[in-house]
Structure 1
Amino acid sequence: MKKILILIICLHGLPQLYAQERAKEISLMFGPYHQATLDAQASPLLYKTHNSNSAAFYLINRGTKSRFQFKLHSGWGSYSPERFKSRTYGDDNYVYSITPTLYALQLKLAYLRKINAALSSTNWQLFVGAELSNGFLLSDQIANTFWATNLAGLNATVLAEWQPIRQHSLTAQVSIPALAIVSRANYANYAKSTHGTNLTEFFHQGSDLVTLNKLQQINLEAKYNYQLSRRFGLGALYQFSWFHYPDPRPIRSYSQALLLQTSYRFKFKN
């Protein structure tokens, strides 16, 4: 009888122990990347990427009522005007061509809390929270000079997760900046200073603290994951981002990537 009581107590405590268990997930991703930018401050031409790729690293910590996300995205590829592709210059004696390259780097840190809503059920989970993000774009040749744009923001974020059966899950996330620092080159794309370097003056002279009244941006993610086992999973991620900013002259830009994903999960207890 004593052994049976001990067994019942242990079985009663199992759900609590399982609830205290958290799952971490590490994901590596790779796939095609596309960026298009119309920056009236730098050039009247629409620049687009060609033969470009993206790689990403995700770390997600899943709690019973929270999510912590660390995301690192990179993208690279040739970057040239839509009409002209590579640009050729010179005369009869010397001819050279320019094929610009684009480098993109984005870092995101997010903390989300689960909310009790009518949407929440056994299969559905809904989270809201805040995200710190920084996105940097750099090209070696736009209008024959270096070009860069940096956007650091505090974003409001909503995440919905649907798991119809144990092995399959779908995740959708939307984030919009509530407050941001936008850094762009000014003064004909050259920083003017006799003291600092071009890099420091780019951020010092060309940075503005803005809100939604000036900056419009939306970031979307949709992810599918299939768990091969308790540890390993495969999936795909689609990412889309669009933004508009008016100063010193308007810039409009969007990017998208379709990445194949491999992930590894491990658990630890509080």
Structure 2
Amino acid sequence: MDTLESKVAVVTGAASGIGLGMARTFGHEGMRVVLSDVSDEGLNKAVADLRSEGIDCIGQLADVRSVEAVEALARAAADSYGQVHVVCNNAGVGVFGRQWELTENDWALAIDVCLWGVINGVRVFVPRMLASGVQCHVVNTASMGGLLSAPFVGPYAAAKHGVVGLSKSLRVELGGTNVGVTLVCPGNVRTNVARAMREQRDSQRRGGGADLDDFLCFLESGLEDESAMDPADVGKLVAQAIKTNQFWLLPNGAPQLPLVEADFEEMRSSSASLVAE
């Protein structure tokens, strides 16, 4: 897709953070943008802010856990702007705690939003894109947490690893078609995840212990310090990846790549030892 000018994008989780960063970049590149979120207040503010910058956009409430809601989102986009060229399956939540202390609802929230939200976006938008015959693109937001695992993030890690796997498969399935795929695995980015972690730690987290408190404080600080990337910069990288049909996109992921490499080295060593035996 050589240009984004006059194209249409749908972005979920667009009221703040990376989603809003993508929507803003798309708008300034001349796209018409459909912002979607579950937060009515946040969505209205985001739409108003972008319109004040001269961006042609609308907002559509949608809970991506529901395929019916995603279908309604697709219809709203088509009714307002016609063919959707780019869909960004970006909505996500953070669920933190010891795996055995989290409830079924805790697990369901992470899996349903972070993984099923992407699945529903693929199921709803890809058939429409293929049928259009024009150049289109799917952007799935995973995380460096989809390539690595840390303690106390079991549900999030499971969901994000799932997004990585399905996106790699989708890339092959759509090879040679008019639909490209980009997998975004951000490292530290300044988003509302830090605020959500504080709220969960203060009022929702089950169990406890200094180790979990220390981990959450460490994660919080990483999302808010100077090394964390601005979501607007992530949006610019995503726009460039769409135009160049780049699959892997790891914004601010370089500091964590040695850990990914260490995982693969451990796998190689383990495999070699099995062969030797």
Relative to the length of structure 1, the TM-score reads 0.27
Structure (1 or 2) with the larger CA radius of gyration: 1
More helix, by proportion: 2
